[in-house]
Every structure is written in C-alpha cells, then in structure tokens.
Chain A
Amino acid sequence: MLNRQGRPSGVGETDASEHYTFTGNRALMIEEPLLFEIGRLERTGVDVDEPEPFTPRLGGLERAEPMGLPGLGEPETMRHYVRLSQKNFGIDSGLFPLGSCTMKHNPRLNEKVARMPGFGDIHPLQPVSTVPGALAVIDRLAHYLKELTGMPAVAMSPKAGAHGELCGMMAIKTAIAARGEAATRTVVLVPESAHGTNPATAALIGFTVEAIPVRADGTVDPASIKAMIGPHVAAIMLTNPNTCGLFEKDVVAIAQVVHEAGAYFYCDGANFNAIVGKVRPGDLGVDAMHINLHKTFSTPHGGGGPGAGPVVLSEALAPYAPLPFVQAGAAGLELVEELGDGKAFGRLTAFHGQMGMFTRALTYMLSHGADGMRQASEDAVLSANYIRVGLMDLMSLPFGDQPCMHEALFDDTWLKDTGVSTLDFAKAMIDEGYHPMTVYFPLVVHGAMLIEPTESESKASLDLFIMALRDLAFAAKRGDTARFAGAPFHAPRRRMDETRAARQPVLRWTPPVPLKEAAE
C-alpha cells in the first residue's frame, strides 16, 4: 500500500518486494555474513614463516584441541569490516545529539599524535629513565585538569568514567576510615535523577544508597539534603550540571550542608563540557570529580570505548589517591608505584592508566587552548538553548521555560494522545539522518528526551535539525502515526526483536549441526 507521496505506509511493507535483488543487497548497503560463515580454518591473511623445526618446551601442556577460528586473507578482511562500518552512524556521519554523552568532533590530529612511536610503542614497565616524555605528558595533562577544575590533585589511572567514580568513592571511603568512622558512615545520598553508575558504584564498595528527591524545577534542594544528612552519611554523589541539563544553583549551599555534617561531596563530571573555562568545580566545594576524557576532551567514543576517567581531588582526599601516580622528585618527574609511607588506598588497574587517551586529550587541550576551551563551552550551551527555543512551542519542557546548560530536556507530555511514544519519535529521527537523542533518561522525567548538540555543529546544521524535528513533531501531533510506528524504515535494519534476544540469548556463533547428524 502506498500513500499519496508514493512511499510505503505500513509496517513490513518495504521496497524489497518492489525492487528485487538477487543478493538481497541494496547497492551500497551490503548484507554481510558473519566471519564464521565466510572464513576458513586454514586461511590466513598474515604471512608468518613457520619456525625451523624445534623441540617445544611446553611441559606437556601443548594445545591438543583445535580452536575452530576461521581466518580471511587481507582483501576479504578489509571488505568484511568496511562493509560492517557502513552500517554504523558516527559523529562523522551527522548530528549525534546524545544527551550526557557529549558527541563532539574527534580531531584527527589526536589520532596522529597517539600513534607517534614514542607514545604508542612504549611499554609501561620499561625503565622509567627511558620514558621521561611519557611522564611529562601525564604531568602536563594533570596540570591542565587541575587548572580547569580548580582542584589541587588528580588521580590519573582510572580507565573509564565509572572507574573514576569508583576511584573517587574509594578515596572517600578511605578518608572516612582514617577518621575512625568506617562503621558509622555507611550511607551515600544520590539524587533519583542520577546516572545508574552512581548507585552501582556506591553499592559495589559496600555503601547503602538513599535517593534524594528532585524538586519541581529539576534541581536539588539543600533542605532535602539537610533532612537526610547526618553522621551516618559518608557522601553525596551529585552531577553538576545535572542530568536534566541544569546547573545546580544551590550547589554551594549543598556543599556547605554536606561538609558541616562531616560528609564528602562527590561530583559526577559527565556534563563538564558545559562549564569548562567558565566555572571551576573546586570553587563550588567539590571533594572529588571524575572527568570523562572521551566526552569533554574529545577522545573517540570508538563504538563504546575505550574511555578514561581521571579524578580531581581536594586537599582532604589527595593523600588517598591510588597507585601509581606521577610526582615531581629531586631529579625530575618520578613514577610512584609503591605504597611506602603513603596513604594510597591501593591500585585500581595494572600499569599506569590510559596513556593512549592522555595523548589525545592533551593534544585537544593544546589545540583549543584556554580561550578555545572556554569558547567551546559557551558554544555548547548556546547551541543547546538555540535548540530548546526552536522546539519549545511544540515540545514540552518538564521544568518550565528556563535556560538550560549544554543539553535540552523535553518530556512526552506533548505526545499525549497522539499514539506516538518517545521511542517512536526517536526511531523516526533515524530516517531523517540523525542519531536519536538520549531517551528515557533521566528517570525522573516521563518519556525523557535529552538533546546535546555540542559545540561542533554549524548553525546550518542546527537549523536543519530543528526544522526536521519540528516536522516530526507536527506529524506526531496531527496523528500521522504511519511515520513513526515501525520506524526506522530506511536504516540497515528495522526495529530489533529485543524480547527474543533476552528470552533466548544467542551470544555466539555455533557451527550448524552437520547434515549427517541432523538426518539421524
């Protein structure tokens, strides 16, 4: 069935029946089998000479069983993975407005620098005297992070944001134990709007989590904290700017309440991109804050990782920073790997941290400079507000007409009785050439839509995005459900059956039963 524009207008009705292809391919969109369906066990794309015959010394522990791992030659490998890449949307494809993720441009100079042999080809355990430039990178990046946050110390080793949260909370737990209060301060306060990593981290190290309510304007009321705080509380974990895209206007009062009760203030720095060069968390009373280098400082998201999560620390927490760390010594920079007389709470990872992300982040910071980083924050906030204002007559704002920071939050009140859900709206954005915004987060807002454009978008790009979303919003409001139900229609795949994936998990390829066995 075709609508008046000649486009299919029902679920399951696609071009496939209209325009047949033998292969199932659609021009550049190739149906690519699994490696295991095209590779062969004897095939290899790496030329390695067999060693001259020798007697192994494996103590009888030689592998007897085959691996079952197929290989491909170089041409087929390139083709296989290039074809897979063509099914992905990236920042380089288009606007990627994923709130709280800061999908800004990944500069390619970062990639070039990270691959310089003096950075990429050095071993963490080669003599420190042979890698002074590596220590200098760590030290310089640490300096930048301290300067930007107004904090006196930074732990560089955490491998991701969540890992950084763990580091900060462990430092807090250690500081509390050092005061002899480990048995009494067992509770961590976390707003109900927080990212899931916050309560997960606190619970992981043995704290009990209590939820702080969020008030009608989306922020936390110091009075709410005061009502819950006491000598049983170890810390609060607050995101600022918060997960609703708003600056916590009472953050200084909150810090005071927390400190007066003898507790610590952990800040989730996921949204730091809004305030770099404009506000210093250290000035607000923060005791520890992790920084996502892959968000704020442009290291690539890489399809899910790797990240890096250094944690800036206050004077009170600095002594407890984990091993290893770089410090200035008599003869220059030194790498401290042993506890000695120190109070480090332990070690969070093998080796020294995500050097590959340090070089990239430092390259970005050197490129932008102080003035550029400040401008980037201003542009991020400006762009988010431009989008907010461009959509707010059509889409509902849960916390009223107030400026947002680097992300604009809408809820699904405006979709009531349209038959279109937040999810449907997001999926229709895919057809328009956009990655959906963050949906259904934060949990405190019904059907949340969190839009973060970042500073990397041109005005023309923002204008087109606003127009496209306005078109979708009008379509939803006039009941044009056909555009939404079953969207996306043009992506490499339609909506996936996630129920089936969870009820009957198939988490790896297994060889099909040979015909002979099947026949029996």
Chain B
Amino acid sequence: MRYLPLSDADRGAMLARIGVDHVDALFANVPADKLQKAPPDLPRMKGELEVERIMAGLAARNVSAGSVPFFVGAGAYKHHVPASVDHLIQRSEFLTSYTPYQPEIAQGTLQYLFEFQTQVALLTGMEVANASMYDGSTGTAEAVLMAHRITKRRKAVLSGGLHPHYRQVVETISGMAGDTVTSLPPDLKAAEDIIAAIDAETSCVVVQTPDVFGNLRDLTAIAAAAQKAGALLIAVFTEAVSLGLVKPPGAMGADIVVGEGQSIGNSLNYGGPYVGLFAARQKYVRQMPGRLCGETVDAEGKRGFVLTLSTREQHIRRDKATSNICTNSGLCVLAFTVHMTLLGETGLRRLASVNHAHAIKLADTLAAVPGVTVEQAAFFNEFTIRVPGDGAQVIEKLAARGILGGVPAARLWPDQGLDDLILVAATEVNTDEDRAAYAAALKDILAC
C-alpha cells in the first residue's frame, strides 16, 4: 500500500526484535472478544486512479459557483483568490507542520501568525487580535463568553440583523452554560431599537454590520449606550472585504470585533474550513480566547516569535481556561495573510469598490424587473429583494435555469413571514452578462 512503507519482511524483523510472534500480541490489553478478527465491512484498498474517479464523479454532481451566474452570500462569498495563495499554502513546510509549540523550528508559522494578527487589528481598527477562531459564528459565541467574564454578567442582547446561524450558535452555547440571551426579531430595515434592550444586567450587545440583510449600521450610539450601562459592544461582520470601504467597527467604539475571514484567501468549500477573525481592546487581552503569537528574542538576541499568554488556554488552565479551543484555523489563516499581503491597502480598497459598484449595478438591474423591490438604500455588496410570491420557489426555478440567485429568507428564517424575501450578493466575479441573465430569468419566472 502506497502510504505504508513497512514491508512484510520489515514487520517480521520488528516483531522479532520486540519478542512477539504476531502483532496481535501487542493488543494484549484489548479484551479478546472485542478484538476484530477481520477488517471492517468496507471496500478494500484502491489506487489513486480509482479513488480520483470516484471523487470526481461525486464532485461532478454539484453546480460550482464559477460555472454559473452566481449571487449567493449570506455569510460566505465568492471572490477571486490569486493563484499564488493556493500555491503557497501547499508548501510542505506550511501544509504538514504542526502548532508551533517548538518555536525554534516553527518561525515560519509564528511570523505569519504575527503578521496576521497585525493585519486583523489594522483592518478592524482594534488594538489586538488573536491567531484566529474556527469561524465567525463560533467566534461570536466566544466573544459573548468573554464579555461575560469581563463584566461578570451573563446576559447577551443580539441584534435582529445578526446572521441566524450565528444567533443559533450563541443561543446553543449560552443555553448550555445557563446564560441568558435576548434575541431581537429579524430586522429587515435596521429599524430596531436595540439601545432600549440594554439594562443593568446586560453583559454585551452583539450587532452585525453589514448585517445579514445588507444594511450598514452606525454602531457609535450603541457603543456609547452599552458602555454607559457597563456592557460591551461586540461588532460582527461576515464579509471581510467590506472593511476595505466601510467604516471599521474599531472606529465606532466596539470593544470586541469578530467576523468571518473566508472572503480573503479562502474558497467557499461548502461551509468549511473557514477562519474566524477576533480582535479586542488591549486591556481585555488576558480574557481573549484562542492562541496569541508574541514577539520576543532568542538566546542570541535575535528577534523571533512565540506563542504566548498560554496560561489562558486549555492545555494549562484546564477547567479554568478561557475556552476549550485547541486548533486555530492554521492554513486558512495563512491563505488570508498571503491574499491580504498581495492586496495591500490599495488593492483591498479597489477590490471593495468594485464589489460595491457591482452591487449597485445588480440592485438597479433587479429593481427594474417588474414586481421586484430592493429593500435597502445603502449596502456594501449584499442586499435583500422582495419578490411577488414564494422566494424559495423563485430560487429553485432560477437554479433550474442555471442561475444561483441568492438565499431565500425562508431558508434562514422559516415560518417568520419572510417568505417573499431573497438575500442577494454581488462580488467582483459578476459580469454584465451575469447580471443581465439574472434579470431576464427573474422577469421570465415572475411573469408566469
């Protein structure tokens, strides 16, 4: 077998050296009736050619985003990733290395983590960032727990503009920990009065901007109200590219910022692996979950990097840890860092502008379809349209015509009276032809 270097002769020699006749003697502590006598009931070994064929067959049954006009967002976005990114993350020394617990032979990983932490802090306008969480949704739940530790209160208030999956994750974790969550109803028009929901027991207010419907929200007043009540503002984003053009949460008074970094460097991958970005005020650093990479010197006085403040983490603090998290998003972090390096400030701003411009074109194109209204006047690269009839059926019919037109609100909020709404995203990959095809198909479907 191509992945197993030992030959039968090797095995024989090793068994002899150990002093047993059969490898099962090494499984002596396994109760005899629990040791399987034969391999499992699964297919036998296959060569690369056959495996590739099987997997390619499964892949071929899926409609890939790049093969059709594509307008799906709601938490994950199709962007163009430069070829260099994927090439670099496949270098053996990055791909096959481990968590940098032995810093002398992991300066590659540690230095890019340090660069990543800096990039995230700069992008969000915050003082310090960690080496990533699994994704934006789990990061949001961790941010809520962090706010509870800092304020010593246990009630979170969630905006109705927060992605429903993110809300559900917070509710699940909080429910298990015995904490309280107040979730405001879905807020299509960014009209909610979240300040009214803040009281003396509130530990944190969680607001997403751009929100799941596409609205851009000014967090400044919310930040002030939260802090006045002794609570923290947690700002959330799902589209990292938005930070190239939109006011960052750090400039609006956020205490903790958490978001999804998938847009930069990482493919859609049917939902994972993604990369959670997590940043906060410096004064809260010892309450932050996740790994932190810090600068120091080695025994020769040369600058180097090392994981630090580890006593917050599970492998030391065990049941008193800030989190149970062990892995970060490693390779997805590297992909983000490389892509962000290639973009730089100038490239990111330009990319964000193109995204916004394409969204405006799309909004105007769709608004011209009879019966369709665009629900937001201001947005970054996502907005919500209202169609006559069932949004989910419209999406299925568009798909049948080879167009992936967005996410029906009913999929994320079933039975909430939002069935005629569709969340639509635009990125730099859309062309004029794509937009025209969408509008034409939509017009056709609605006319029936």
Contact = CB atoms under 8 A, between A and B. Distances in A.
Given A61-B209, A89-B106, A306-B330, 5 more contacts: A52-B357, A87-B107, A133-B59, A201-B324, A383-B14
Contacts of A252: 31, 34
A81 B66 contact: no
B96 A300 contact: yes
Nearest to A366: B51
A305 B195 CA distance: 38
20 contacts: A12-B300, A44-B346, A45-B347, A46-B82, A70-B345, A111-B90, A116-B59, A160-B327, A301-B98, A304-B98, A305-B328, A306-B331, A353-B272, A381-B23, A385-B18, A455-B4, A461-B5, A493-B103, A496-B297, A508-B117
Candidate in A304, A355, A370 with the most chain B CB atoms within 10 angstroms: A304
A92 B90 CA distance: 12
Interface stretch (B199-207, B226-234, B377-385, B435-443): B377-385
A381 B26 contact: yes
B330 A58 contact: no
Nearest to A506: B295
Given A200-B314, A345-B172, A51 B40 contact: no
Contact of B314 (A12, A162, A372, A461): A162
Interface string A40-77: 11111110111110101111111111111111101001
Nearest to A309: B327
Interface stretch (A96-104, A222-230, A468-476): A96-104
Contacts of B129: 507-508
A156 to B, nearest CB: 10
B341 A36 contact: no
A389 B295 CA distance: 41
A130 B100 contact: no
Nearest to B380: A58
Contact of A159 (B67, B72, B138, B270): B138
A170 B176 contact: yes
B330 A304 contact: yes
B108 A84 contact: yes
A261 interface: no
Interface residues of A, number: 212
Contacts of B47: 367
Candidate in B59, B217, B395 with the most chain A CB atoms within 10 angstroms: B59
Contact of B35 (A36, A48, A279): A279
B29 A69 contact: no
Given A46-B351, A115-B86, A430 B344 contact: no
Given A159-B135, A196-B321, A356-B269, A372 B4 contact: yes
Nearest to B58: A133
B104 interface: yes
B386 interface: no
Interface in A494-518: 494-498, 500-502, 505-509
Interface in B152-207: 163, 165-166, 168-169, 171-173, 175-178
B114 A78 contact: no
Given A90-B93, A112-B52, A347-B169, A369 B45 contact: yes
Contacts of A129: 396, 399
